[in-house]
Structure 1
């Protein structure tokens, strides 16, 4: 899942982005509304985290225009404006959630993940596929009942394949959803990670290569 963090405070933006990345999310960053607008134009995000007051305006006004133009990406407002009227105004403008500074990073992760799930079709919290159990809520994977230890990025790739079981998922789509803008789309990062993932999942591998396309998680 891919998230855009829009925050002009560099230290806070770095901390939020690093925290979300550590949980396996792909994160892009923007320091103002202009950069956010450009990012949203070229990339389909699962969630956007907006600071309210940015150098070039109030993100609430931006989100209101975004909704008017048909934009549906889930939005979390992250702000020090903590009055009830401020929260009501944020929801009225099209925000989906509102978190007041200071906040606990684990709560931020939980709220962002909740919004990311809303951005796609509803899927079960646990995917059971050919001996695999992918628990998206607990971030755990078992094969034949044995708990596996995966990195956040490995889990992110497996989760995406599990939500599209038996479908060929292109490499470019895996990069778009599981890596941020710093990843090189033509590099072999996906192939290397899938190779590591296959070793951890064991034989026979449920991840099949679809030549010229990408990978598929087989149900049988």
Structure 2
């Protein structure tokens, strides 16, 4: 007996499913990216209630912080505070005011660049040289001296208000006033004046004579030491 029941293949079943897709609900036809947005919103969870045994004072807002007005400004009493501080430092470092008057611009005998100065210290040997620069900056005022020691040029910055500086003396004035404020061109071999030790030795010798009281005394010359040599013309130019 022949079987009259039709045989349905798996492909025929999938064909029926695809034909029924347009008749489904619009939600099933949406892509997955938008289908999740139409879900029902989650219920809002109310905040937890405080138990009855907990006091409500724990959750009170903080107290207002006490503020204080700013301190009075010192500008009303000291409009130029930096200048006052510098004056106080200079008064402490130079109680007699000798170094301040020496390097004051109003002083007619003020040291200038090009002069030969001699600085002595409380510790160490003195240093002398030609003044190349004078830097006036209140308590930080300093001078730059240059000398040649053993054929080597040596320069030194000297703070005039330093406690280690005992004295600063003018050994020799420049013949002509320099037209520059900094004589750095003296570092070149063409303009280098060399060592000033001979000039300083003559100055120290004259100072010793003045302090000893022999102001008009001169050192004996070669003719005074040896009269017979003077008659023969020895030592005469």
Q: Who wins on radius of gyration, i.e. which is larger?
A: 2
More helix by share: 1
Structure scoring higher RCO (CA < 8 A, sep ≥ 6) equals 1
- Please identify which structure carries the higher strand content: 1
What TM-score, normalized by structure 2, do the two folds share?
0.23
